[in-house]
Each structure stands twice: as C-alpha cells, then as structure tokens.
Amino acid sequence: MNLRLAINVEDFRRLARRRLPKLVFDFMDGGVLDECTRDANERDFRRIELRPKACATLTDFNTGTSVLGTPVSFPLLVSPMGTLTMFHPEGDAAIARAARKTGSIFMHSFVSGVTIEDTVKAIGDADRVWAQTTLRTPEENEAYRRRVANLGIRTLMIAAETVGSDKRERDLHNGLATMPPRPPLKGLVDFALHPGWVYRWLTGPNTTFADHRIDGNPIRMSQMYSFMGEYGRPNWSALQRLRDSWDGNLVVKGIGTPEDALLAVDLGADALVVSNLGGRHFDGQPSTISVLPDIVKAVRGIGSSIDIVVDGGVRRGSDIVRALALGATAAAAGRPFGYAIAAAGQEGAEKVFGIYREEFTATMKSVGASTVREINSSVLHPGPLGTSGWHQAATGMGHAEASVVASH
C-alpha cells in the first residue's frame, strides 16, 4: 500500500508496521501484559451506537470549538508521546507542523526526543502547545517551568498516572528490556530488512530525552531507563505545590475515577485528561470512554465547568462524536500520529488529521448537528446492544453542560 491509498488510521498502522523494524513498531503499538486495556480503549468506542437524523436542516455548519480558550478547527488534539524520533527523525516537530496547519493543539511529552523550544518553533503558536512535566528535583522543576513560561506557553500538564508495570511483553520478546536494545538474531535480521529506517536512524538526531540533561550532558540511550526510574512519583501535595507555583493553565493527566477527578478539581486544575496511558502501564483497568460518563457527572455535579480530556482508542472521526455525546468538547489521539509520521512524516500527519476531520464532519451531518455544541446525549442510540447504559449516563449532560476532551 502506498500513501495515496491510505484512507483510514488502520491503513497508516499497516504502513508503519511495514516501514519500521518489528522492535520499533511494537514499542509504539503495544501495551502492557495481555494488552486488555489497550484493546478495550478501541473496542468500547464501537459499542456506542449513534442515532441518524432524517431531513436535518444544517444551517451555518461549523466544526470548530475551543479548548482552554484556544480555538481548534475541529475537536481533535494530539496526545503526548515520548521518543517519537524513533519513528521519524523529525518526531514531534513533524506532527506539530501538521497540527499548526490543521488548527489543533499538540501535547509535548516530557520524554520527547525534540526540545520544547523546537516544538514551539515548529507549531509557531505557543498557545497550541501543552507542556507535559513530571516531578523531579525542585530545581529541575523550576528550571523547566521557567523555560516553558519564557516560550509563552500558557498550559502545563502534569503526568499523574501511577505506573504499575512496565512489563510490555512485546518489548521483552524483542530485546527491549535494556537500552540500547539487545534484539535476538531474528530481530537483527529484521533491522537489516529495513535499510531505510536504519539509515534515517543513524543519520538523524541521537535517541535521547531532549529536554533533560544528566550532569549537564545529553542523556545517552544507556541512561534512559534509569532516568525514567528516578523521576518523582506524583502525589496530591506535590500537585498542589505545582498549582501554587504556576500562574497559567494546569492540566492533570491520568484521571480514571470520579474520586480522583474531584481531588484534581479541588486543588485548582483547569482541565483533566481522563487517561490510562493507552494501556501501556496498567492492564485490567477499564477503557477511558467507559469511565468518562461517571467522571463528567461527578465534576459537573459540583458545579465545575473545567475542560476534561479523555485519552485512549480514538480511531475514527465518529469516535470524536461519541466522546462529545458523552460530554466531550474535543478528542485527542496519540498512536495514530505515530503511525502517520512513521509512514510519511509531516505529510502523513496532515493526511491523518484530514481523515479524522472528514469522518467527523460526515458523522456530524448524519446525526443532524450543525455545530459542535449541538452534539449531546440525544445523538446516542438507547438500543438493546449494550448501549442503553451509555445513553442513560449521558442524559442531561449535553455538550454545553459537560466540556470534555478525548485522546490516544
């Protein structure tokens, strides 16, 4: 398959599988343990049925909305992903430029292979970058916040997920238990069968966490795992200190229960990301779309109007409509943009944005919505195929009342 024939996200996944060595593709595509949560994120979107509307009058049709005050051309953001330079030498910059052309928002990972400065330069608008951070030493935290503020970025995102396991069995089978990896013989042969990727990797930027240093030097591949193991695990007291020290927007990512959502709202978060890290660290937890209605209900129940970002399994433009119908204001995707740049760099990312937008637009028209604000629980089908629960959970929580974002 060539790029011209790629018409959906799954086509780009197939292209990425073909163009990347198995070790690299599986690192992006895989999840932890049995990958149940990873698979559920996608599967549970399929369970949500939508109601068509006949003879709909679509006046002043508009797919635009805004997230944290930033206008977007349609409700899709880019989730944070680390080490994207493994998939394409330009990594984050390629996706950020595509996000700029589309009018979207890019979430910059704290373990990116591209610096936050280069990402802002690529996207050309600091309001369209959310800078993800984690908790290390107070000195490192403050230094990073100063860098972010000096770039004009208004939104800081804290990774609050509790990491339960890094036992991604695809990676272990492929020899990625260590960095640099130690692939088995068949893995070495597979690298030899992908000379284009090997050339780009050898001649491209070093594999590192570009925003960080150890003793003033770039992080080497052999130091990456130990560096990850040393960053501070978040707790609510630390998040409160971060809130108190940051004047801009604060997004808390990694919310999976109503109780945690309420704690985040109480400490002063400006937005939440309902996320399970794409099933990469804790297997057996429910899909994000399945927990979204209860989280929305809890947050709106205390009168909070903050944005809520849901992350995981968005593979179709119609999935964005499903998320909005359950209270979402936008959706975000991660892996699909990794597949896209692996297949065709910035051009691939632009095409994936276009696919999502075309499908979202068609689904909006099918359910009779002229604007994003008209997508609410009335477009959900309360039928017998396991969907009545979705409808009941969302009833009374239309888009105007429940502002939420979806992703990965």
> What pLDDT does 393 receive?
58
Q: How far apart are CA 370 and CA 57, in angstroms?
A: 8
Q: Which of 88, 226, 22, 190 is nearest to 30 (CA)?
A: 22
216 Cβ contact list (under 8 Å, min separation 6): none
Task: Tell me the sheet residues that pair with 129.
Answer: 106
> What pLDDT does 221 receive?
73
Q: How far apart are CA 38 and CA 287, in angstroms?
A: 8
Q: What is the CATH number of the domain that holds 275?
A: 3.20.20.70
Q: Can you give the residue range of the structural domain that contains 288?
A: 3-406
> What pLDDT does 390 receive?
57
Q: Which of 290, 205, 297, 303 is nearest to 256 (CA)?
A: 290
Positions in the chain short of pLDDT 50: 384-386, 396, 398-407
398 Cβ contact list (under 8 Å, min separation 6): 327, 376, 377, 378
Q: How far apart are CA 145 and CA 149, in angstroms?
A: 6
Pairing of strands 155-159, 249-255: parallel
> What pLDDT does 338 receive?
97
> What pLDDT does 383 receive?
60
How many CA atoms are closer than 13 Å to the CA of 231, on its beta-carbon side?
A: 23
> What pLDDT does 229 receive?
67
Q: How far apart are CA 307 and CA 269, in angstroms?
A: 9
How many CA atoms are closer than 13 Å to the CA of 264, on its beta-carbon side?
A: 34
Q: How far apart are CA 275 and CA 38, in angstroms?
A: 11
H helix intervals, 83-230: 92-102, 116-123, 138-150, 169-173, 185-192, 195-203, 224-230
User: Global pTM?
Assistant: 0.92
Question: Which of helix, strand or coil describes residue 382?
Answer: coil
Number of domains forming the structure of the chain: 1
> What pLDDT does 278 receive?
93
pLDDT tens digits along 328-338: 889 899 999 99
pLDDT tens digits along 175-226: 888 778 889 999 999 999 999 999 998 998 888 888 887 777 778 777 777 7
